[in-house]
Amino acid sequence: MPARRPWLLLIHQVPPKPDYVRVKVRRRLHDVGAIALKSTVYALPNGAQSLEDFQWTLREIVRLGGQGAICEASFLGGQDAAAIASLFRAARKGGAQARAAAAARRLAAAGPMRGRTWVTRKGVHVDRIASAWLIRRFIDRTAKFRFVPDRSPRGGPRELRFDMFDGEFTHEGDRCTFEVLLDRFRLDDPALAALGEIVHDLDLNDAKFRRAETPGIGKVIAGIAMAQKDDRARIERGSALLDDLHVYFTRKAPRARGR
């Protein structure tokens, strides 16, 4: 199997009129942290979340009367890969800070973290199952979950979106949603950090941490998803697994992160 190329490109064309179409597309690409290589060519590091962000953006471009394509790319000439990576990190940092500030404002306005409705996409798998467990166990013990087909419009003041495009809590840079939640809510627990490494490698498939437990846990979660079609059932079964794993990593000193 050929190696995955390091970048995703969205090459698009939108109608020249009305003007708001270009503005809307440009704003959406900015929001996901994409960088402009040309006026109609945008780049993101290759990964599942980046592909999903570009797919949603392309769907909106087509809906607005435009067209485009998504492709994998390596830069062999004419572009400095290191400079592009630096531009991306700066763009993503700014976008993450903006999302964090917006989420903080919503949390402050909504009052205590109790009984919120947390919204995510249907068909929950590794990151969404683990994030739902983390939310209900450590962040909002009376949380309710709502599952939507794809993208969801902004809900009421007590709704928060996670692991979905433009959500208050979702992938940032090379971190999965579970890792972002750990950081945002300052959950400084070595056992949770160990679980975060496992979720990261299963969700992003980049072998960043290479924990010995990861492949087996991935197979168990895949089995849960195969056996349970209902999202709430998947979260319930996955939560039982994660409860036990949390006890395991609490009693067994986790290895240092990144080793």
Please give the CATH topology (third level) of the domain spanning 7-84.
Answer: Alpha-Beta Plaits (3.30.70)
Question: Which of 249, 210, 241, 227 shows the shortest CA–CA distance to 132?
Answer: 241
- Tell me how far apart the alpha carbons of residues 153 and 133 are, in angstroms, rounded to a whole number: 24
Predicted pLDDT of residue 256? 42
For the chain, residues classed under CATH 3.30.70.240 are 7-84
* Long-range pairs for 250-255: beta carbons < 8 A, 24 or more residues apart: 250/189, 250/190, 250/191, 253/190, 254/190, 254/191, 254/193, 254/194, 255/194, 255/211
Mean pLDDT for back-to-back runs of 10 residues, the chain (259 residues): 73 87 84 82 83 86 91 67 60 56 53 79 96 96 90 66 84 87 92 96 89 96 97 98 96 56
CB 27 within 8 A of CB 34: no
Q: Which amino acid is at 80?
A: D
Predicted pLDDT of residue 112? 52
CB 244 within 8 A of CB 137: no
Distance from the Cα of residue 27 to its chain's centroid: 19
Instruction: Tell me the per-residue pLDDT of 56-115, one tens digit each, with 9 for 90 and over.
Output: 889 889 988 999 999 988 765 555 556 666 666 565 555 555 555 555 555 554 455 678
Alpha-carbon dihedral of residues 97, 101, 103, 104, nearest 10 degrees? 130
Predicted pLDDT of residue 259? 42
Q: What is the edge-to-edge ordering of all strands in the sheet holding 117-121? A: 144-148, 117-121, 159-161
Predicted pLDDT of residue 229? 96
Predicted pLDDT of residue 257? 45
Question: Which of 89, 95, 141 shows the shortest CA–CA distance to 118?
Answer: 141
Determine phi and psi for 227, rounding to 5 degrees: -80, -25
pTM for the model stands at: 0.61
Predicted pLDDT of residue 242? 97
CB 116 within 8 A of CB 144: yes
Predicted pLDDT of residue 201? 93
